[in-house]
Amino acid sequence: MSLIRPALVALALSCVVSAPALAKGDPAKGQPLSAACGACHGADGNSAIPVNPNLAQQHPDYIAKQLAEFKSGARANAIMAGIATGLSPENMADLGAWFGSRKVRAATASDEAAATAGQKLYRAGDASRGLPACSGCHSPSGAGIPSQYPRLAGQHQAYTVAQLKAFKAGERANDNAALMRTIAAKLTDQELTALAEYVAALRP
């Protein structure tokens, strides 16, 4: 067995252990705040624009964490930075609670052959290349781990591919970037698409 894979798994586990405790939000307070998010992410967190992520059913503390990192600049995005600037930590927690309480709409793979290839990588990885299984951090069902590893199930293919490419190019610096950059750098564009196809159709 490759020595790289256990090292990546150990790094992933260390990141989970160090996850900060986040305040619990109130979805009732988050609903009115979500009006500004609807144009890009949908009123109920189901985005009609594939390059913008679905927020519905995402972990509330993961959403709050992303908003805080857009505000601090740890995650770069000019539009989101502008929106997050006016939000307090309580606002972020409330928005997370609101969108997390919404149900993500069922998605399907648009390319079954690609999804089948993606399933193999997602569930088993590729030890010969030092690639850990995605399921180790994002769970076999795509449910993820709150705060640190997002829910992937039902996410738009285009958004998932864009984020993997951002890690691969070194453009995304948050969310265990060292681990994700190492993994994404070893994936071909075809494999990125295959993984995105597979997770889009997952049902936790």
CATH classification code of 24-100: 1.10.760.10
Q: What is the pLDDT of residue 22?
A: 63
The yes-or-no verdict on residue 64 having pLDDT over 90 is: yes
Which of 10-14, 21-25, 131-135 has the lowest average pLDDT?
Answer: 10-14
Q: What is the dihedral angle through the alpha carbons of 93, 99, 101, 106, rounded to the nearest 10 degrees? A: -150
Q: Are the C-beta atoms of 95 and 37 separated by less than 8 Å?
A: yes
Cα(133)–Cα(139) distance, rounded to whole angstroms? 9
Q: Do domains 4-13+106-200 and 24-100 have the same CATH topology?
A: yes
Predicted confidence band of residue 21 (pLDDT cuts 50, 70, 90): low
Q: What is the pLDDT of residue 6?
A: 52
Q: Which pTM does this prediction carry? A: 0.89
* The two three-digit tokens of residue 129, written as one number: 């290349």
- Residues 13-34: what's their mean pLDDT? 75
Q: Are the C-beta atoms of 79 and 45 separated by less than 8 Å?
A: no
Q: What is the pLDDT of residue 204?
A: 73
The yes-or-no verdict on residue 97 having pLDDT over 60 is: yes
* The two three-digit tokens of residue 176, written as one number: 């265990």
Task: Find, among 32, 94, 38, 85, the residue nearest to 63 by Cα.
Answer: 94
Domain spans of the chain, in order of start: 4-13+106-200, 24-100
Q: Tens of pLDDT along 29-42?
A: 999 999 999 999 99
Dihedral over Cα of 118, 120, 123, 125: its sign? negative
% of the chain with per-residue pLDDT over 70: 89
Cα(22)–Cα(63) distance, rounded to whole angstroms? 11
* DSSP structural state of residue 149: B
Q: What is the pLDDT of residue 178?
A: 96
Task: Find, among 12, 117, 98, the residue nearest to 56 by Cα.
Answer: 98
* The two three-digit tokens of residue 202, written as one number: 């997952």
The yes-or-no verdict on residue 82 having pLDDT over 70 is: yes
Cα(115)–Cα(201) distance, rounded to whole angstroms? 9
CATH classification code of 4-13+106-200: 1.10.760.10
Where are the alpha helices (H) located in the chain, listed in sequence order? 4-17, 27-33, 38-41, 60-72, 78-84, 89-100, 112-124, 135-138, 157-168, 177-185, 189-200
Q: Tens of pLDDT along 122-163?
A: 999 999 999 999 999 999 999 999 988 999 999 999 999 999
Mean pLDDT score across all residues of the chain: 91
Task: Find, among 109, 105, 89, the residue nearest to 97 by Cα.
Answer: 89
